[in-house]
Amino acid sequence: MKNIAKIIDHTNIRQGATAKDIKKTCDEAKEYGFRSVCINPEWVKLTHNELKHTSIKTVVLIDPPMGLSLHQKRIKMCEKAKKDGADELDIVMNIVDLKYERYNNILKDLKELCKILPTKVIIGSGYLTDEEIEKASKLVKKAGAFCVKTATEKDPLEHRELKEKYYHLKLMKKGAPGLKIKVAGKIKTLFDIQEAIKSGADIIGTSSGVKIMKELRK
């Protein structure tokens, strides 16, 4: 079994989160030794400062839920995140472009973004067919990201069973061999993580990291 704490992106992207909430999330990450803290752009500076002198990364979610902002706006969001202290980007692929097979647009966009910081690309797998999941994963690899990720919390897959998400991980691995795979959404128990790892997940995005670690310690 992998060191579970070291693969968890401890996540707080809740709308309405306060500075106190974000500091608590950072304190939890330090207590349990999580891989990173994943937050919305407005909290990058605070998170970076809270995690100074640790090996825990600051990860920022960019352009949820469907990656529809204009390219130049996405560039500005990512550059600001870097300036504020982010270590990694979790950026949503333009899912509409994918649906309409505008692959050149996707590649142009992602290639530039991936040069700013190490990047995970969220493909919104719950919106996609099996063929689209594989195609999206190939595009992510071609763009130069280091990781392909299932979804944001708004993905329609969140209303379906986790086993479908695990199936998507296998398709992503097939489409982008050699890339890391991140799964996020509805991962709430130790069993969920164990099943995700069996299905090919390298990184787990969850807001239930503390609960899972307490379960593991028992």
Q: Which residues are catalytic?
A: 90, 149, 182
DSSP 153: T
The answer for 200, left when phi > 0, alpha when psi is -120 to 50, beta otherwise, is left
* N residues, the chain: 218
CA geometry: angle at 200 spanning 198 and 203, to 5°? 105
Q: Residue 28: in which H helix or E strand, if any?
A: helix 19-32
Beta partners for residue 147, in sequence order: 120, 180
Evaluate whether 141 touches 178 at the Cβ level (below 8 Å): yes
Evaluate whether 206 touches 187 at the Cβ level (below 8 Å): yes
| 185 residue type, one letter | G
Displacement of CA 57 from its chain's centroid (Å): 13
Structure tokens at 44: 């990058």
